[in-house]
Amino acid sequence: MAGLILEHLYKRYDNSGKKKKTKNDFAVKDLNLVCEQGEFIAFLGPSGCGKTTTLRMIAGLEEITQGNIYIGDQLVNNLHPKDRHIGLAFEDYAMYPPLNVYGNVAFNLRAKGVDKKEIDKRVREIAPLMQIDDILDKMPVKLSGGQKQRVNIARAIIREPELLLMDEPLSHLDGKARQAMRVEIKRLINKIKCTTIYVTHDQLEAMSLADKIAIINFGVLQQFGTPTEVYDDPVNEFVASFIGEPPMNILVTTIAKIDGKFFFTFENSNLKIAVPKRYYSVVSDGFRCKMGVRPMDVLIGGEDSDGTPEKIATFENLGDERRIGIHVGDILLMLITEDEKRYKSGDIIKLEVRGEKTHLFDIETGERIREKQEV
């Protein structure tokens, strides 16, 4: 059974009163998505791409301009938020200051008139899951950011929602605490097995948590797939450069045919990379497109390598990996290496590129150019 279906969903805000009209009229444009029961889905995209608007429409907090939303089998377009069986954990964890943690977690069940004994049972079940059992007596003002985030999520899941909606729930935490909470969220969701939508602009968070990622740009869904699919098989330049840190290198290239073989060549650069045979059916001499390759697929060749000699422009030592930048025309091509040698700017290395790992994109549209499938 599907946990959530979004069908031709549109949202247009009424900006008629505003002096400055925005270019993009629709905050969400023709969004179609099917999330299976129990799946953990991340909505990922840059600021302003429509993630929160979509989440708020699912929650019933924002009116739909057009389209349908189903939670489970039920069309919820006209249902009040409280009747949608959802749990909400939003970025600003507004807690009730006069109530202690127990009171905050129990609040919604009390408001619904759930029996006192049942409330106590559920609070005491959830508290260890969220690791808040030792702070149930504490007042909100005495809590750390991480503890508030945990209470916030506990309040959302105590309702035993059919659908859990989280909007940047870790945004107020610093790097280390964020990483720790990420692990906790994963553990928790594995236990409660509830369909979850998780809004984030952090691709690392999406990659590490989600079963599937919906990548959105300018209100339009770009790709919906598993972390491996969107990383290894991006549908366009936007997805390719949004997923991965450091991002995929993307360079404009002109294909050159030399002695019967095709090569990627680059303006103002000697770099020449063999085009993998699988692209031979879609390229030709002089063909221009963009070539993408991830930094870990750019390598430093050994002494007898026939890679192109290139001068190092930047060198960063990050402890367990080193990042090297090389100018290819106007672009700084990044490579990641575990080579422990301390390079410095100006050093010459033999640059090799795993040709089989390259992706091609259309210069104008950014769409992926795929090799023709054999029939």
Residue 309 near residue 375 (C-beta atoms within 8 A): no
Cβ 203 to ligand ATP, closest distance in Å? 13
- Beta-bridged to residue 360, according to DSSP, are 291, 369
- From residue 131 to residue 160, the character string flagging contacts with ligand ATP as x (rule: CB under 6 A) and all else as - is ------------------------------
Distance CA 282, CA 291 (A): 13
The full length of the chain comes to: 375
**Residue number with CB closer to ligand ATP (49 or 157):** 49
Q: How far is the CB of 182 from ligand ATP (least distance, A)?
A: 18
C-beta closer to ligand ATP: residue 52 or 269: 52
CB nearer to ligand ATP: pick between 60 and 355: 60
Closest by Cα among 227, 193, 209, 153 to 3: 193
Burial 293-326 (b: 16+ CB within 10 A, else e): bbbbbbbbeeeeeebbebebeebeeeeeebebbb
Six-digit token string for 74: 């039920």
Contact region for ligand ATP (CB under 6 A) — 40-48, 243-251, 311-319, 367-375? 40-48
Q: Which amino acid is at 193?
A: K
Q: Which of 15, 32, 144, 365 binds ligand ATP (CB under 6 A)?
A: 15
Kindly tell me which of 52 and 253 has the beta carbon lying closer to ligand ATP: 52
Separation of alpha carbons 101 and 124, rounded Å: 12
Query: Which residue in 4, 42, 52, 334 binds ligand ATP (CB under 6 A)?
Result: 52
Interactions with ligand ATP, residue window 76-135 (CB under 6 A): none
Which is nearest to 266 in space by CA: 283, 299, 237, 289? 289
Whole-number minimum distance, CB 222 to ligand ATP, in Å?
A: 13
CB nearer to ligand ATP: give 52 or 223. Answer: 52
Beta bridge partners of 322: 317, 337
> How many binding residues for ligand ATP (CB under 6 A)?
12
Candidate list 6, 9, 29, 50; residue touching ligand ATP; CB under 6 A: 50
Choose one: 45-53, 94-102, 137-145, 153-161; the region binding ligand ATP (CB under 6 A).
45-53
Take residue 178 and report the two structure tokens written for it: 């964020």
Return d(Cα 133, Cα 130) in angstroms, integer: 8
Token duo for residue 288: 């221009």
Token look-up 């366009």 returns 236
What is the footprint of ligand ATP within residues 176-205 (CB under 6 A)? 201
| Residues between 17 and 36 that touch ligand ATP (CB under 6 A) | 27
Q: Under the rule (CB under 6 A), what is the footprint of ligand ATP?
A: 13, 15, 27, 45, 47-53, 201
